[in-house]
């Protein structure tokens, strides 16, 4: 790890929960230092769009996510502050992030939203198949521990970003990533 590693605000929530919108607001608010928004969708967009068999696609997506996790570490290692948006819908994703990001200061933020609102948002998007957000709703939060949670169905992206920004100076030494790491690997 570099001498002055960057900080990481890690947003976890379902598809259409508002993570990217909150991340954009955070970049607008966090003007004391340089911050970067990196999202798993950005990495997915870099992949070829050719048709693949399900097993081949699953393997490509796993490698993409593993590379994404390592790119977060590489960016933070050289001093970049990051707002990460991710969908931790499979247990291995969280376990990999806990391992790869163990040397870094991570504020783990759960982005929650009512399923009816997720479905409404998803229907308004042309880039998402219906039902994905509702399917992910229980999966992404099953680990049950965050440093902070925001309700993006009740609060606007700006208000969620303000909640996160207000929490940053008060981030406890015992972090959700640390507690989850101990729970997974006692």
- pLDDT per residue as tens digits for the range 124-139: 887 778 889 989 998 9
Residue 19 CA to its chain's centroid (Å): 7
Annotated binding site: 13-20
SS3 content of the chain, % helix, strand, coil (to 5): 50, 15, 35
Is 41 annotated in the active site?
Answer: yes
Which of 28, 31, 32, 41 is catalytic? The answer is 41
**Paired tokens of 127:** 């880039």
For residue 12, pLDDT beyond 90: yes
**Domain extent for 52:** 8-184
Per residue in 60-80, pLDDT (tens digit) is 999 999 999 999 999 999 999
Is pLDDT above 60 for 102? yes
Whether 1 maps to a domain, the answer reads no
Q: What is the pLDDT of residue 125?
A: 85
Annotated binding residues for ATP, written as ranges, equal 13-20
- Number of domains the chain contains: 1
Alpha-carbon separation of residue 63 from 14, 44, 59, 154, 176 (angstroms):
20, 11, 6, 35, 25
- Percent of the chain scored above 70 by pLDDT? 98
- Tally of CB atoms within 10 A around 3: 7
104: nearest Cα among 175, 153, 152: 175
Q: What's residue 184's pLDDT? A: 82
At 179, the pLDDT band (50, 70, 90 cuts) reads very high
* pTM for this model (two decimals): 0.94
Helix (H) or strand (E) run with residue 151 in it? strand 148-151
Nearest to 72 by CA among 147, 183, 177, 179: 177
Asked whether residue 21 is domain-assigned, the answer is yes
CATH number of the domain bearing residue 59: 3.40.50.300
In a domain, 3, yes or no: no
Determine, yes or no, domain membership for 2. Answer: no
**Average pLDDT, integer, range 38-58:** 90
64, 47 contact by CB (below 8 A): yes
């Amino acid at each position: 790890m570099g001498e002055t590693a960057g900080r990481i605000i890690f947003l976890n929530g379902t598809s259409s929960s508002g993570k990217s919108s909150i991340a954009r607001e955070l970049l607008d608010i966090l003007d004391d230092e340089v911050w970067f928004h990196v999202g798993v969708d950005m990495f997915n967009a870099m992949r070829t769009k050719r048709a693949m068999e399900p097993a081949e696609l699953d393997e490509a997506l796993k490698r993409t996510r593993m590379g994404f996790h390592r790119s977060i570490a590489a960016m933070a290692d050289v001093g970049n502050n990051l707002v990460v948006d991710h969908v931790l819908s499979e247990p291995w994703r969280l376990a990999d992030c806990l391992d790869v990001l163990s040397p870094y200061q991570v504020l783990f933020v759960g982005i929650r939203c009512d399923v009816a609102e997720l479905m409404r948002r998803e229907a308004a998007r042309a880039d998402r198949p219906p039902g994905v957000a509702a399917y992910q709703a229980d999966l992404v939060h099953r680990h049950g521990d965050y440093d902070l949670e925001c309700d993006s169905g009740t609060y606007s992206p700006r208000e969620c970003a303000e909640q996160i920004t207000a929490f940053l100076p008060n981030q406890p030494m015992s972090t959700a990533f640390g507690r989850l790491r101990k729970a997974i690997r006692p």
